[in-house]
């Protein structure tokens, strides 16, 4: 698609939230960054987290009161949990922006900090769900300390319910993607995309990308909202959220080739199944409204919200417990993202591939440990502090959070529930060693000298702690 010359003047500038990672893959930090603990930030829904070229992580999101726009900043992803939060702007006392304030996103466009958000009136005869998209703009280079004022209203194709906008740069052109109710279509919202001519105007007729029609998109409400774009492996991946904001909320995915005309709806292929849904094993309900970022090692991170309980009293929209969560985003052999399951509360889990044969990962099938790769979720293990001094750790599969690896003197390693016995307390404790040169890790059971966790002939057990079988690549 070629735009009239005048509109090409709006050439994409550095995008704070870009489908393509802003930063070259960061060199591994001298000191490993702290591991984020989920939930990362309580009661911040619709979270946007990104790592800007200034090296800081920025987080914004909907607050339970829906009355203000907030922003926090941290040098580390984990640090967002305790970072100071600035209030950039509060809803107005009256008028179209005096009610709900939803789903902010921060972008740097042509050198200015702009925050998009959805807002509605506060009643008084007005429909509080008359939600439209607006933007505020910062008067200086520091979004945390600058003064913010209203830039204006997004000029949408129709004067109808619209929200959850995002912006991304692709092949030098900045695009806007958002959710909107389209006159004549009986849904709450559909997804649209268009090139931008200015921060609040479109440079071409919008393309409708999807209407919620699949069973998992229309549970409670017919919803396709909260688009987020990631550019990886020669494709654009656009996630979106579907159904009511209770446990039925989930992520869908549309994919387009990076060289396609992304303004052509036919260039996008929609997954017929949701890619990220409620997981009762890990107790995360209604995961959705995601964004993407990278950790300090340059590895992709999925950011989303989710509750840690299912039953909600009253309207889910006014339940405050959609907490911000983060987890690694992995990829399948074909280069498409593997979302796995929402990993649950606690330290972000890791995967451990055998250094002797990286195709074999520490995994489990039910309560049986295996060396293999049955599914992403079955290869994710959470490390927690041990009970035998500061260096001991315990390992637990995310799908069986009440089970732990236990080692026996006969060289077997199994999964067992904590029965609070002395025997369990002894056999579930490991010391984690990191081989500085190779970054391999080893887990030595404190009760079995000279041995370490190993993949041996496709099984999980103990082997000589110096053997290749006892070394793992943590990822």
Of the candidates 46, 164, 217, 295, the residue annotated as catalytic is 46
Task: Give me the least distance between CB of 19 and ligand AHR, in Å please.
Answer: 19
In the bound state with ligand AHR, the residue whose beta carbon lies nearer, of 153 and 198, is: 153
In the bound state with ligand AHR, the residue whose beta carbon lies nearer, of 114 and 394, is: 114
* 243 interacts with ligand AHR by CB under 6 A: no
Task: Give me the least distance between CB of 317 and ligand AHR, in Å please.
Answer: 6
Task: Give me the least distance between CB of 332 and ligand AHR, in Å please.
Answer: 27
Contact letters for ligand AHR, residues 259-298 (x by CB under 6 A): ------------------------------x---------
In the bound state with ligand AHR, the residue whose beta carbon lies nearer, of 71 and 444, is: 71
Contact letters for ligand AHR, residues 391-430 (x by CB under 6 A): ----------------------------------------
Is the distance from CB of 263 to CB of 218 less than 8 angstroms? no
Catalytic site includes residue 46: yes
How many residues can be counted in the chain? 475
Binder among 12, 17, 47, 118 for ligand AHR (CB under 6 A): 118
In the bound state with ligand AHR, the residue whose beta carbon lies nearer, of 50 and 161, is: 161
For residues 144 and 149, give the distance between their C-alpha atoms in angstroms, rounded to a whole number.
13
Is the distance from CB of 49 to CB of 57 less than 8 angstroms? yes
In the bound state with ligand AHR, the residue whose beta carbon lies nearer, of 248 and 382, is: 248
In the bound state with ligand AHR, the residue whose beta carbon lies nearer, of 167 and 429, is: 167
Binder among 226, 448, 452, 462 for ligand AHR (CB under 6 A): 226
Binder among 105, 164, 217, 296 for ligand AHR (CB under 6 A): 164
Task: Give me the least distance between CB of 61 and ligand AHR, in Å please.
Answer: 9
* 177 interacts with ligand AHR by CB under 6 A: no
Task: Give me the least distance between CB of 225 and ligand AHR, in Å please.
Answer: 5
* 191 interacts with ligand AHR by CB under 6 A: no
Binder among 225, 296, 321, 350 for ligand AHR (CB under 6 A): 225
Nearest by Cα to 456 from 338, 337, 375, 355: 355
Nearest by Cα to 385 from 397, 377, 375, 395: 395
In the bound state with ligand AHR, the residue whose beta carbon lies nearer, of 307 and 364, is: 307
Is the distance from CB of 221 to CB of 210 less than 8 angstroms? no
Task: Give me the least distance between CB of 153 and ligand AHR, in Å please.
Answer: 16
For residues 342 and 328, give the distance between their C-alpha atoms in angstroms, rounded to a whole number.
10
In the bound state with ligand AHR, the residue whose beta carbon lies nearer, of 40 and 163, is: 163
Nearest by Cα to 21 from 259, 301, 322, 246: 301
Contacts of residue 437, defined as CB under 8 A and 6 or more positions apart, other chains included, come to none
Residue written as tokens 């099938």?
A: 365
Radius of gyration for the alpha carbons in the chain, expressed in angstroms and rounded: 24
Q: Give long-range contacts, CB 8 A cutoff, 24+ apart: 367-373.
A: 367/400, 367/403, 367/414, 367/415, 368/414, 368/415, 369/405, 369/413, 369/414, 369/415, 369/459, 369/460, 370/458, 370/459, 370/460, 371/455, 371/456, 371/458, 371/459, 371/460, 372/458
In the bound state with ligand AHR, the residue whose beta carbon lies nearer, of 190 and 428, is: 190
Binder among 102, 237, 276, 381 for ligand AHR (CB under 6 A): 102
Binder among 15, 19, 81, 103 for ligand AHR (CB under 6 A): 103
Contact letters for ligand AHR, residues 24-63 (x by CB under 6 A): ---------------------xx---------------x-
Task: Name which of residues 308 to 347 contact ligand AHR (CB under 6 A).
Answer: 317
Binder among 167, 245, 282, 428 for ligand AHR (CB under 6 A): 245
Task: Give me the least distance between CB of 152 and ligand AHR, in Å please.
Answer: 19
Of the candidates 105, 225, 295, 296, the residue annotated as catalytic is 225
For residues 360 and 201, give the distance between their C-alpha atoms in angstroms, rounded to a whole number.
51
Task: Give me the least distance between CB of 279 and ligand AHR, in Å please.
Answer: 20
Binder among 163, 193, 395, 406 for ligand AHR (CB under 6 A): 163
> CA 189 → CA 180, 184, 205, 218, 285, distances in Å?
5, 12, 18, 11, 22
Residues recognised as catalytic: 46, 225
Residues of this chain that bind ligand AHR (CB under 6 A): 45-46, 62, 102-103, 118, 163-164, 225-226, 241, 245, 289, 317
């Amino acid at each position: 698609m070629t735009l009239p010359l005048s509109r090409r003047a709006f050439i994409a500038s550095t995008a704070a939230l870009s489908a393509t990672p802003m930063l070259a893959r960061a060199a591994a930090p001298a000191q490993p960054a702290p591991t984020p603990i989920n939930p990362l930030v309580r009661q911040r829904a619709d979270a946007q987290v990104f790592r800007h070229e200034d090296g800081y992580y920025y987080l914004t999101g909907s607050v339970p009161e829906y009355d203000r726009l907030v922003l926090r900043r941290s040098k580390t992803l984990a640090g967002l949990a305790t970072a100071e939060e600035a209030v950039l702007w509060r809803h107005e006392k009256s008028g179209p922006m005096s009610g709900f304030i939803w789903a902010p996103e921060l972008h740097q466009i042509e050198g200015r900090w702009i925050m998009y958000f959805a807002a509605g009136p506060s009643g008084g005869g007005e429909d509080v769900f008359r939600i439209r998209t607006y933007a505020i703009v910062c008067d200086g280079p520091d979004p945390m300390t600058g003064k913010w004022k209203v830039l204006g209203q997004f000029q949408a194709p129709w004067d109808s319910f619209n929200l959850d906008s995002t912006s991304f740069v692709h092949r030098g052109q900045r695009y806007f993607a958002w959710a909107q109710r389209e006159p004549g279509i009986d849904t709450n919202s559909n997804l649209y995309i268009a090139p931008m001519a200015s921060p609040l105007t479109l440079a071409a007729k919008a393309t409708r990308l999807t209407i919620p029609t699949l069973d998992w998109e229309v549970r409670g409400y017919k919803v396709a909202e909260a688009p987020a774009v990631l550019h990886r492996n020669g494709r654009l991946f656009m996630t979106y959220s579907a159904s009511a904001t209770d446990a039925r909320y989930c992520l869908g995915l549309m994919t387009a080739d990076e060289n396609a005309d992304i303004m052509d709806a036919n260039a996008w292929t929609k997954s017929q199944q949701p890619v990220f849904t409620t997981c009762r094993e890990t107790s995360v309900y209604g995961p959705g409204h995601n964004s993407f970022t990278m950790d300090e090692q340059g590895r992709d991170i999925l950011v989303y919200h989710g509750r840690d309980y299912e039953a909600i009293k009253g309207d889910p929209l006014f339940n405050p417990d959609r907490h911000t969560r983060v987890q690694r985003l992995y990829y399948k052999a074909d280069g498409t993202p593997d979302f796995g399951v929402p990993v649950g509360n606690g330290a972000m889990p890791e995967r451990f591939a055998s250094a002797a044969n990286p195709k074999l990962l520490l995994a489990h099938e039910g309560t049986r440990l295996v060396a293999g790769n049955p599914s992403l979720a079955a290869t994710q293990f959470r490390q927690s502090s041990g009970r035998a001094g500061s260096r001991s750790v315990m390992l637990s599969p995310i799908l069986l959070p009440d089970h732990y690896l236990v080692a026996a003197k006969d060289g077997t390693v199994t999964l067992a529930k904590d029965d609070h016995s002395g025997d369990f307390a002894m056999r579930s404790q490991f010391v984690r060693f990191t081989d500085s040169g190779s970054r391999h890790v080893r887990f030595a059971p404190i009760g079995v000298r000279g041995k370490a966790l190993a993949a041996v002939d496709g099984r999980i057990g103990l082997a000589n702690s110096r053997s290749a079988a006892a070394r793992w690549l943590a990822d």
